[in-house]
Structure 1
Amino acid sequence: MDGTVLVADDDRTIRTVLTQALTRAGCRVHATGSLAQLQRWVEEGRGDLVVTDVMMPDGNGIDMIPAIRKARPDLPVIVISAQNTIVTAIRAAEADAFEYLPKPFDLPDLMGKAGQALSRRARLSDRTPDRAGQAAAPSPVTAAAGVPAEAGAPLGADPALPLIGHAPAMQALFRMVARVLNADLPVLILGEAGVGSTTVARSFHDLSDRRGAALVILTAADAASETLSRMIDKARGGTVLIENPAGFDAGTQARLIGSIEAWENGPDRAQAPRLISTLGPDPQAEVAAGRLRADLYYRLAGVTITVPPLRQRVDDIPALARHLLARVAAQGLPGRTLSDEAMALIRAHPFPGNVRELENLLRRLTLTAAEDEISAAEVREALETDHPAHFNAGRIDAGIMATGGTRPMAAGQPAARTPERAQATDPGTGRLSQSVEAHLRRYFDLHGDSLPPPGLYDRILREVERPLLQIAMDATGGNQLRCADMLGINRNTLRKKLTDLNIEVTRRRKLM
């Protein structure tokens, strides 16, 4: 890899890591914690690639991209940000960033993107000045999301947009939304109940250049024959959001196809509304079962986007929970926080109802909590009320697997312990694997003839991971570099895990 890379980040550690990695790859690197210095380097003609953070002490990295484009139209920019929201991804795409990567980023991934940017710079230089001028225009996302345009403004601060997440599946979703936000293509959004499909669908209107026109929502109840055409006509130049078209009867689906054809072939097709639809996770099954007409499905599925269930992005739960609590507080309910133990319980819960279930749980806890900080006992009681079968069968309490806590067997539950299992009953003796086996055997025994609730693999790993990181950080005196080296993981990975697990880091000198 050859070229000069300009790195701007207010975190000195990240500047050091990127400088070392890029230098080893053969690049020359200039690193700074100031956007003003970055701008001077760009105007002086330095650099073949820019890697910049978003939130900087003297400005906003995304807001600076138009100025970079004006001075150096062929200079690619990679944006890195801890603001893992859909608004950040869309604003980076609108500003014509070469790539957007959420923090903590995967270093090999960033190095791969940097190599692509450097190798394709010649093609980027073919872009016209008009494109750079368009990039300098005010971002419709900034206005739609209520984000101030001045430097240092928080991105994605609107509590009405709970589309946040660092998980790869969510980042892929954000990138796809950013790519097709203003395209004249119908979009079909798939997902389980409660994942937020409608919220994603609304973002296509609220963050697009159609936001000044009407958004019309069609449901099975609204789509009566005498109102269907009138409702679609109302969305002239705007967006029609069709919620679960598989729930429409056959006659309504036929009329909907007729209305779409009339818009597509009529004299006012330039003002045709954009079609955004939501459906369950398996549209082909809906077609095969006869609930959804195949010709309607293919008209709606110009672009298909899948919203992942919450169990597939467990690491997003802490940030999502804090966001939802802030949204509840903005609606006039008491401001609450979650204790570390309460957050651990929430992370361990499978949430079959996805984000909607999480939001309802937090809203209820906001009203019923005795203190400003919601306790683990209050979370446990609420979850036990909602999912008595899981809890009565034997739950993993916060720390039950790690501490070897026991619970009484349910009445009539078979004693599944065998002589082989009894060999490793004392967690304080024998090898680690024997202690872990004893805990796991006990946990499965508590379920009798039933199986544990879904998500066991991730829950067990988290139970082991937290004490491992706590003890390792204590042994290294809070030195994250030494701790990461001892564990054999990347320091950025360690920092992310410490944040997600709410492990407090106190730097001190190790006593010998």
Structure 2
Amino acid sequence: MDGTILIADDDRSIRTVLTQALSRAGCRVHATGSLQQLLKWVEEGRGDLVVTDVMMPDGNGIDTIPAIRRARPDLPVIVISAQNTIVTAIRATEAEAFDYLPKPFDLPDLLSRSRDALARRPRKSDLAPQFRPVQTIPHAEAAEVADRELLLIGHASSMQALFRLVAKVLNADLPVMVTGQAGVGKSTIARALHEFSDRTGGPLVVLTPADGASDTLARAVQEARGGTLLIENPAGFDPAAQTRLLALLEQTDSSGDAPRLVSTAGPDPQQEMDEGRLRADLFYRLAGATIAVPPLSARRDDIPPLARHLMARAAAQGLAERPLSEEVLAELRGQDYPGNVRQLENLLRRLALTGSGPVTLDELREMPGQQAAPAGQGAAAPRAVSRPSGGGAGQLSASVADHLQRYFDLHGDALPPSGLYDRILREIEVPLLEIALDATGGNQLRCAELLGINRNTLRKKLSDLNIQVTRRRRVM
């Protein structure tokens, strides 16, 4: 890898690690903790690539990208950030950053993306340098508000993949279906697709199964012209309403101001279609692109920052400001949340309503529906999947039994959707493979030996389950 890389990060340790790694890879590196210094280097014509943090003492790295592009339109910029929200991913995409990486990131991943950026840009010798005065663009107040209010926070790879996909389809001319369990934030993502798109000046009209009357559907489609029509749970509309809705949508296709279609659905809309609850033609009309939102149990490491955000939000709404200790956050991380983010938010709001001062561990455990976290799930537990320590298969079997019983209880007198056997096996298989890969540093041969399966079998499972494998070193 050949080129000069400009690094801007206020964390000295990150600057040191990146400088050493990129230098060993053959690059020349200039590192600074100041955006003003970075812009000075850009003005002077230095650098073939910029790697910048977002939150800096003298400005915002994303807001600086337009200034960099005015001075050097050819200079690619990679954004790294601990602000792991959908807003950050969208803003980096809108600013035309070459790439965006959340912290902590994998060092080999950054090296690979830096190599791609250097390979794709024109060399400075082929371009006339453009030296223009530049200044840091102040951080947009509206974006700061969105960062505080938006509940879409997550460093988990599944959430970062979701953020990237949202940014890509934000202004694409195709319908989007957001799928996932109840309470994961499907409606929040669906609304973000409108609020952050170029249709934000137009209307956002929401349709629910309760709006299935013919005149209501027609009025909603008409009112949504030039904006976004959000259809909540299309499988919940009765068959006649689905037919009317499909006909109305097809009638608007020929108009120049047809609404953007965004819908929300359960975790398996294909099954809803197979069972006859969702018309196949309506499904294909709405699912131009599908965004699957992971359950909270699949991204436990996101629970502490999400809990802090939710508690701060409750305080901003007039409830008690109650700090969360590391011990309490570890306990929250160890809980199961069949109600997902909505359940976590309700729990924290109850804590804000019923007490004052720092939340105590005993107080949390006494809340209705809470159970003590299994041993080994405190602050030192490094995995994203909860596991009881000690006790062997007996405790694991009991934990699975408890989880399944809660799942059945959620459906009351009704049975869960069919296909439960395969769904449960998939839910167990994915974290098992991910944890085993993590424990073996991404070495597939060692992982296969650890699991006691053939290496080819492991590769097929990783491919079928869309599990990415990297040998990585984490950079905090």
RMSD: 3.2
Alpha-carbon separation, structure 2, partners of 1:312 and 1:233: 39
Q: Quick check: 1:201–1:276 contact (8 Å CA) kept in 2?
A: yes
Q: Are residues 1:229 and 2:218 paired?
A: yes
Q: Quick check: 2:331–2:377 contact (8 Å CA) kept in 1?
A: no
How far does residue 440 in structure 1 lie from its aligned partner after superposition? 4.4
Partner in structure 1 of residue 115 of structure 2? 115
Alpha-carbon separation, structure 2, partners of 1:123 and 1:363: 55
How far does residue 281 in structure 1 lie from its aligned partner after superposition? 0.9
Where do residues 46-445 of structure 1 align in structure 2 (5 Å cutoff)?
A: 46-122=46-122, 142=140, 146-147=142-143, 154=144, 156-159=146-149, 161-265=150-254, 269-369=255-355, 371-382=356-367, 385-386=368-369, 391=371, 396-397=373-374, 437=390, 439-440=391-392, 443=395
Relative distance call for 1:304 and 1:456 in structure 2 (3 A) is: closer
Alpha-carbon separation, structure 1, partners of 2:124 and 2:214: 51
How far does residue 285 in structure 1 lie from its aligned partner after superposition? 0.4
How far does residue 262 in structure 1 lie from its aligned partner after superposition? 1.0
Alpha-carbon separation, structure 1, partners of 2:256 and 2:38: 43
Alpha-carbon separation, structure 1, partners of 2:306 and 2:29: 36
Q: Which deviates more, 360-369 or 17-26?
A: 360-369
Relative distance call for 1:329 and 1:8 in structure 2 (3 A) is: same
Alpha-carbon separation, structure 1, partners of 2:98 and 2:195: 24
- Where 1:47 maps in the other structure, the secondary structure is coil
Partner in structure 1 of residue 6 of structure 2? 6
How far does residue 156 in structure 1 lie from its aligned partner after superposition? 4.6
Query: Could you tell me which amino acid in structure 1 is paired with residue 359 of structure 2?
Result: I
Partner in structure 2 of residue 451 of structure 1? 401
Query: Could you tell me which amino acid in structure 2 is paired with residue 217 of structure 1?
Result: V
How far does residue 104 in structure 1 lie from its aligned partner after superposition? 1.3
Alpha-carbon separation, structure 2, partners of 1:299 and 1:78: 36
Relative distance call for 1:155 and 1:334 in structure 2 (3 A) is: closer
Q: Which has the larger radius of gyration?
A: 1
Alpha-carbon separation, structure 2, partners of 1:310 and 1:349: 10
- Where 2:291 maps in the other structure, the secondary structure is strand
Q: How many residues align?
A: 402
Relative distance call for 1:28 and 1:401 in structure 2 (3 A) is: closer
Alpha-carbon separation, structure 2, partners of 1:397 and 1:343: 14
Identity %: 61
Moved over 2 A (4+): 122-127, 154-158, 395-403, 439-445, 450-459, 489-492
Greater RCO structure (CA 8 Å; 6+ sep) = 2
Question: Which consecutive residues of structure 1, in runs of 5 or more, have no partner in the other structure?
Answer: 128-135, 148-153, 404-435, 463-488, 496-512
Please list the CA deviations of residues 145-180 of structure 1 after superposition, one character each: whole Å capped at 9, or x if unmatched: x23xxxxxx585332x11111111111111111111
Q: Are residues 1:38 and 2:38 paired?
A: yes
- Where 1:338 maps in the other structure, the secondary structure is coil
Relative distance call for 1:189 and 1:227 in structure 2 (3 A) is: same
Q: Which deviates more, 329-338 or 296-305?
A: 329-338
Relative distance call for 1:358 and 1:125 in structure 2 (3 A) is: farther
Please list the CA deviations of residues 381-403 of structure 1 after superposition, one character each: whole Å capped at 9, or x if unmatched: 11xx326xxx5xxx545669999
Alpha-carbon separation, structure 2, partners of 1:184 and 1:351: 35
Alpha-carbon separation, structure 2, partners of 1:242 and 1:381: 39
Q: Quick check: 1:88–1:156 contact (8 Å CA) kept in 2?
A: no
The TM-score, its normalising length taken from structure 2, stands at: 0.78
- Where 1:5 maps in the other structure, the secondary structure is strand
Please list the CA deviations of residues 343-391 of structure 1 after superposition, one character each: whole Å capped at 9, or x if unmatched: 121101121111011011111111112x311111111111xx326xxx5
Alpha-carbon separation, structure 2, partners of 1:299 and 1:124: 47
Q: Quick check: 1:62–1:91 contact (8 Å CA) kept in 2?
A: yes
Alpha-carbon separation, structure 1, partners of 2:428 and 2:250: 49
Partner in structure 2 of residue 28 of structure 1? 28
Alpha-carbon separation, structure 2, partners of 1:402 and 1:9: 28
Alpha-carbon separation, structure 1, partners of 2:279 and 2:160: 31
Relative distance call for 1:275 and 1:78 in structure 2 (3 A) is: same
Relative distance call for 1:45 and 1:217 in structure 2 (3 A) is: same
Relative distance call for 1:99 and 1:230 in structure 2 (3 A) is: same
Alpha-carbon separation, structure 1, partners of 2:474 and 2:164: 26
Question: Which consecutive residues of structure 2, in runs of 5 or more, have no partner in the other structure?
Answer: 128-134, 381-388, 405-426, 436-471
The TM-score, its normalising length taken from structure 1, stands at: 0.73
